[in-house]
Amino acid sequence: MSSLVTTFNDIAVVAHRNVIKITRVPEVLVFVLLSPIMFVLLFAYVFGNSIDIQGTSYREFLIAGIFAQTVMFGATFTGAGIAEDMQKGIIDRFRSLPMSRSAVLAGRTLSDVVYNILSIIIMSITGLLVGWRIRGSVIDAIAGFALLLLFAYAISWVMAYVALLVPSVEVINNASFMVIFPLTFVANTFVPAESLPGPLRAFAEWNPVSAVTQAARELFGNIPTGTPEPTAWPLQNPVIYTVGWSIAIVAVFAPLAINRYAKKAKG
């Protein structure tokens, strides 16, 4: 029991260390705050008048997709942060301390939830200013935000594992973009999945990013009455599908990342 308490204390210390970097590294805070605003304004005003969504405005359709994309990009802070700490030798200092091996990674992934919470707050305010509204209940809206954060937390473990495989921050950033862009664009984030051609539509319907986007739209009340029900099971049950993917990702990549970290510590 005492070892478990010690592990949680170590995780809290590492998480606190990463959170206070928000105030000490202004450029990180600028990216966290300005990037969501840029995405919302870009898609709302550049594409808002050229894409027609039956039964609702494109801006209401859009915001859940922007949420999903931004929290996925927010998860890359985990990989970039770990890669940076490895380059600067901070990870080596952690290894020399009498602390849990899992605390460094768990604390890092936990602290990045704070980055995503800040992004969601800024995106929500910006979305409200451009015409987005939450039309569901308060409880449903909270569930929608929680689901987005859960999915982002799962992706952060993937980024943590990748960061322990690559040699630099630049590589992790490039690798992240190569994965996140296809996942977020070949989905129902910015256009309905039904509008995509055959193979891309099939991929989009089973893409977990589409599921978390669909779940957020339903929980925020942004799917108008009379909209045809999706034909693919993941989009018919987006909450279950998203939670399942999130649990599976953490179950696979958390042990992989911790094991990789332990091997590096021995090496």
Averaged pLDDT score across all residues of the chain: 84
pLDDT, position 92: 67
Q: Which residue has the tokens 């689901």?
A: 147
Token couple for 111 = 């602290």
- Compute the radius of gyration of the chain from its Cα atoms: 19
Weakest-pLDDT range from 34-43, 75-84, 204-213, 258-267? 258-267
CB 109 within 8 A of CB 14: no
| Per-residue confidence band for 64, with pLDDT thresholds at 50, 70 and 90 | very high
| Per-residue confidence band for 134, with pLDDT thresholds at 50, 70 and 90 | very high
- Burial profile 248-261: b = 16 or more Cβ within 10 angstroms, e = fewer: ebbeebbebbbebb
Q: What is the mean pLDDT of residues 177-194?
A: 88
The rounded distance, in Å, linking the Cα atoms of 203 and 210 is 10
Q: Is the pLDDT of residue 143 over 90?
A: yes
Q: Which residue has the tokens 């911790």?
A: 258
The rounded distance, in Å, linking the Cα atoms of 159 and 87 is 16
| Per-residue confidence band for 260, with pLDDT thresholds at 50, 70 and 90 | confident
143 or 82, higher pLDDT:
143
132 or 102, higher pLDDT:
132
CB 61 within 8 A of CB 214: no
Tell me whether residue 38 is exposed, middle or buried, using C-beta atoms within 10 angstroms of its C-beta: 0 to 12, 13 to 18, 19 or more.
Answer: exposed
pTM of the prediction? 0.90
Percent of the chain at pLDDT exceeding 70: 88
64 or 48, higher pLDDT:
64
pLDDT, position 265: 59
pLDDT, position 103: 81
Q: Is the pLDDT of residue 171 over 60?
A: yes
For the stretch 75-89, pLDDT in tens is 887 888 887 777 777
Percent of the chain at pLDDT exceeding 90: 33
> Within 10 A of 220 (CB to CB), how many other CB atoms are there?
24
The rounded distance, in Å, linking the Cα atoms of 11 and 85 is 16
Q: What size, in residues, is the chain?
A: 267
Q: What is the mean pLDDT of residues 126-143?
A: 91
- The domains of the chain are located at 2-266
